[in-house]
Amino acid sequence: MSEKLQKVLARAGKGSRREMETVISQGRVSVDGKTAYLGDRVEGNEQIRIDGHTVVLKDKEQDLCRVLMYNKPEGEMCTRKDPEGRPTVFDRLPPLEGGRWVAVGRLDINTSGMLLFTTDGELANRLMHPSHKVEREYAVRVFGEVDEAMLQRLRGGVKLEDGPARFQKITYHGGEGRNHWFHVVLSEGRNREVRRLWESQDVQVSRLIRVRYGNMEMHRQLPLGGWTELGLKEVNYFRKLVSLPPETKSKVKVDEKAIDNAKSRRIRRSVKKHQHRTQQANRRRRT
């Protein structure tokens, strides 16, 4: 049976379906030597190229949906390569054969916390799309005077430059003086939306940490800069959340705990090794 070209390219790890639709529309994809167009379907035995480079296709049966949870530190860019040479969230991830990790949304350079990656471009696209209303929860420290009237405005909705926005839920988590911690919940991921909502009330955000995506909370024992692969049950939670069929296999052992003490120590050692390599590389560049 034939499939849409963008779906086949996404399964090959070239990006999300939406990204592949853009690439096809730009005339950068060819099928058996002919320029492809949006809406084309393929059987899977054709020679497909992007920018002249052959795409290694995957059968549905070979395609294993994998999901990583990453604890992003501040100072990392959510891009594959940064022209200024700054570290990126992809630098620490495990290599893949015949595919690539796709980030589920972005966190800006000054935001830390939970970031998901997957090998399934369609899963990433659906989790990001506002139509699925997947909740994101953030811990945010704000500086300034906050009163109940302000919180009611943020819950009810305020007008930003790209349209109205609001927090679905705001919970106070303590503070002193003019510094206060709140947990806020959104179901969309517009650029810098949490910061812009608070700034619309003349309040400054001094710390921002994503702590939950859907009902999945950041694993407490996962250190900053560390990643862990989610098990089959967790992967299928996200697939069910966006109406995708369940996965049947996993790289993670069924009886493996999310993160036990031994695994946490291994992750921390790996993080330290990466930091050491990065420091050495920076020193070599400076000399």
- Type and span of the H or E element at 282: helix 261-286
Collapsing DSSP to helix, strand or coil, 226 comes out as coil
Sequence-distant (≥ 6) Cβ neighbours of residue 1 within 8 angstroms: 43
Sheet-wide strand order for 34-35: 34-35, 29-31, 48-50, 53-54
Q: How far is CA 112 from CA 43, 217, 234, in A?
A: 42, 14, 22
Q: Distance between CA atoms of 116 and 228, rounded to whole angstroms?
A: 10
Where in the sequence numbering do the catalytic residues fall? 108
Q: For residues 256 and 53, what is the distance between their CA atoms, to the nearest angstrom?
A: 39
Q: Rounded to an integer, what distance in angstroms lies between the CA atom of residue 137 and that of residue 173?
A: 13
Pairing relationship of beta strands 112-118 and 204-213 according to DSSP bridges: parallel
Token look-up 């036990």 returns 260
Strand segments, DSSP code E, in 48-178 are 48-50, 53-54, 67-72, 102-104, 112-118, 136-143, 158-160, 163-165, 169-176
